[in-house]
Amino acid sequence: MEAAALYFRFKDNLATILGALNSKLEVRSMPYNTSIPLEINLLADILRLHGLDFRSETPGAARLQDFQQWFLQNEEKASEVMHRVLEDKRAYMKTTTGTVLQKEMLIRRLEYFNETAHTLDVMMRQQQLQSPKHFQYPFLLNQ
């Protein structure tokens, strides 16, 4: 998906992810409690470079709710920063693993939220359709 489409869907993706995490969907076996806060921190690092400061000490995936509230309050400024970063092909940032393009860092974060929203949306639809679980082990069925 192109960066512009990822950027355009970002707000909806946040809402989809939060809706799924706040539903009865079973996600305990998935890495979202670890990966979502990390991705939010990386996205916040990009925004912080441009004067926007999001900080949250909320543990686990609940940090996404803090970020969504902050984003909605600062949507115009955050969107402007994201748009500027996506247009700038030369801006770099230092990370713990080296130096990377800000644009690439932002695109990877937007891709993560898009893929996570898609996965959770599919899982929610399967649950609504009462699809059988696909991960049952054959040796458990004989007991």
Mean pLDDT, the chain, rounded, equals: 88
Structure confidence by residue, pLDDT tens digits, 63-97: 999 999 999 999 999 999 999 999 998 998 888 88
89 CB burial (10 A radius; 0-12, 13-18, 19+): exposed
Residue 4: strand pairing partners: none
**What are 59's two structure tokens?**
């543990």
Which pLDDT score is estimated for 137? 47
pTM (two decimals): 0.86
DSSP 132: P
What lies within 8 Å, CB to CB, of 123 at 6+ separation is 20, 25, 27
Q: Determine what percent of the chain is predicted with pLDDT higher than 90.
A: 62
Structure confidence by residue, pLDDT tens digits, 31-47: 998 999 999 999 999 99
Which pLDDT score is estimated for 143? 46
Q: What is the mean pLDDT of residues 4-14?
A: 94
Please state which of the ranges 7-11, 36-40, 117-121, 138-142 shows the lowest mean pLDDT: 138-142
Residue 129 or 45, more confident: 45
CA distance 105 to 42: 8
**What are 116's two structure tokens?**
């996570």
Which pLDDT score is estimated for 61? 82
